[in-house]
Structures are given as structure tokens and as C-alpha cells.
Amino acid sequence: MTAMSSVSIKTTIAAKPEFKFGKNKVSANNVNVFYGDKHALKDVTVNIPEKAVMAFIGPSGCGKSTFLRCLNRMNDTIPIAKVTGKVEIDNQDIYDKALDVVQLRARVGMVFQKPNPFPKSIYENIAYGPKIHGLAASKSDLNEIVEASLKKAGLWDEVKDRLSDSGTGLSGGQQQRLCIARAIAVSPEIILMDEPCSALDPIATARIEELIDELRENFTIVIVTHSMQQAARVSQRTAFFHLGVLVEEGTTDTIFTNPNDSRTQDYITGRFG
């Protein structure tokens, strides 16, 4: 009797193509926000990689929107808000006294929960930003910026024949894409989105999500969303906030299949929140 010795054949299996994160675009260190006596955000420390989508999830009032608004100093417009800690974009402290907040907001665009186009024409909606920042040297420059921005926002074909119509006459989804185009028009590096799809129907939502996926190539995107599925679909990294604390941050795959913290697990599986 002979038994053939087993032949071991080494096969190398190609590793799953994982998303490669670039360098950190934003890094926040021990950020605290107070609204009067209310301690709304507690010691948040997180890095946001460039050219990727980062999602902030968590129950209402958990501080995710508050933190988002720290990144373009939108909290400055609220008189009782006080921010401590350090937020750096490209290693530059954005709360530095020498930094011009107007300049910052040109670098960090924002899209809001409810579509809020200016009550002006579609053209003016896009052209206004480049105009106030002096980005267009001539009328034809401006036309180019408007067209390019609308194209990037996937709205050009729908509105090119009615640029002088009011922006508020568009459908909800179109209005939101107009707002995204308006943000793109001033060539920001980062786009903040505060629940951009919460007022939209599923088809319009799908369009925005598709758009976010495309924009990821050129922009760093931070999105606050109440829809866990949306966070799972569009983002590469996810951070979970609860009661003003950043509970857990990691790759989206990990957060949604195997989160570390039991609070994250309970929230995303619908056990509290």
C-alpha cells in the first residue's frame, strides 16, 4: 500500500481591492462646543481623509451637525456658541485669529438640509459666489464657471435652456443639485453636507448619492445623515456620535458590519436612538 504524499499547491488569491485613503485633509483635536451653558460637543478628535466621503451618523442632537458646522465656522453666526480645541485644514488652524472666515468658507463649501437656492435666477445662483470672490475675470469666464459647475452637479442638461428662470422654481431634487453646483462654483476643497437628502424623494436621493460618488474624485466630502443606509452607501469612513461624544470612527465597512462599540451596534441595528 502506498499513499501519495499530498502535493501542496500554493495559490495566491488577489486581495479584495480596498479603498486607499489619502492624507488627512482635516484634523480636529479635542473640539468642544458650548451653546450657552449647554455642552453640545465633548472632546471630539478625528481625522478626515482627503478625496473620500466621511459620514457622521447618530441620533438627533448628538452633535454631528454641530461638529460639521465647526469645520467652516458656521457656528460663528450663532452668538451664544463657543468653540474650543483645534481644527486644522491642511495643517492650518482654521480658528486662528489671522484666518479670514470668508476665505475659509470659500474653501469649505456647504450644502444644507433643506434646498435653499437664492430667490434669483439659476444662472445668478451659481454666478453669485464666483462674483463675490472675484473668480471670474470676464463675462465669458463666468459663463464657463456656471456651465462647468452645473455639469459637475449633473444639472446642466436639465436647466441649460432656462438659466434665467428662478432657481426656486425647480423640483426639490434639482434645487439641491443647484445648491451643490453653487457650492462647487467657488472651487472649494471640502464640501460639507448637512442631511442633504432628508427633504427629497428616493429617486432624487439616488441622484444626489450618485453625484456624491462622482464628486469624491475631486473633493473631500463630509456628510451628516440620519439614514444609516445612506451613510453605508456613499461613505468610505463613518463616525458615530452620541450625546456630544464621538463614540466610534472607522471604515464604513467595519462600522456597519462589525462595530466595536456596543452603543454603535445598538444604534445602527435600531435598538435605541
Partner 1 sequence: MAFEVVADSLGAQAKDSSKTVANIAVRRRRETIFKICGLLATSFGLITLALLLIDLAAAGFPRLSWDFFTNFPSRRASQAGILSAWVGSLLVILTTASIGVPLGVGAGIYLEEYGRRNWLTSIIEINITNLAGVPSIVFGLLALGLFVYGLGTGRSIFTAGLTLALLILPIIVVATREAIRAVPAALREAAYGIGCTKWQVTRDHVLPASLPGILTGVIIGISRALGETAPLITIGALTFIAFLPDSPISSEFPFVSFSWLFDGFTVLPIQAFNWISRPGSDFHANAAAAGIVLLAITLGLNAIAIYARYKLRKKLQW
Partner 2 sequence: MASHIVTAFENELREINRKVAEMGGLAEKSVVDSIDALIKRDTILAQRVIAGDTRLDQLQREIEDDAITLIAKRQPLAVDLREVVSAIRICNDLERVGDLAKNTAKRVLALKGEYQAPALLRGVEHMSEIVLEQLKEVLDAFGARDAARAMAVWKRDGAVDDLYTSLFRELLTYMMEDPRQITMCTHLLFAAKNVERIGDHATNIAETVHYLVVGEQLADERPKSDASSMTTVAYPKG
User: Per-residue string for binding with partner 2, 5-44, x by CB under 8 A?
Assistant: -x--------------------------------------
Task: Note whether 54 and 257 are within 8 A (CB).
Answer: no
Work out how close the CB of 262 gets to partner 2 at its nearest, in angstroms, rounded to a whole number.
8
Which 8-state DSSP code applies to residue 88? Answer: E
Residue 1 binds partner 2, judged by CB under 8 A: yes
Read out DSSP for 104-163?
A: HHHHEEEE-SS----SSBHHHHHHHHHHHTT--SSHHHHHHHHHHHHHHTT-HHHHTT-T
Query: Helix or strand or coil: residue 32?
Result: strand
Query: Locate cell 441649460: which residue?
Result: 160
Q: Which of 51, 105, 233, 242 binds partner 1 (CB under 8 A)?
A: 105
Stretch that binds partner 1, among 85-93, 155-163, 175-183, 240-248 (CB under 8 A): 175-183
Cβ proximity to partner 2: between 84 and 258 the closer is 258
Where in 113-152 is the site for partner 1 (CB under 8 A)?
114, 116-119, 128-129, 132-133
Query: Cα 265 to chain center, whole Å?
Result: 23
Positive or negative, the CA dihedral 232, 237, 242, 247 is: positive
Task: Note whether 182 and 14 are within 8 A (CB).
Answer: no
Where in 220-259 is the site for partner 2 (CB under 8 A)?
228-229, 232, 256-259
Query: Locate cell 471670474: which residue?
Result: 136
Residues near partner 1 (CB under 8 A) are: 72, 74, 77, 79, 102-106, 109-112, 114, 116-119, 128-129, 132-133, 166, 168-169, 179, 182-183, 185-186
Residues near partner 2 (CB under 8 A) are: 1-4, 6, 228-229, 232, 256-259, 262, 264-266, 268-273
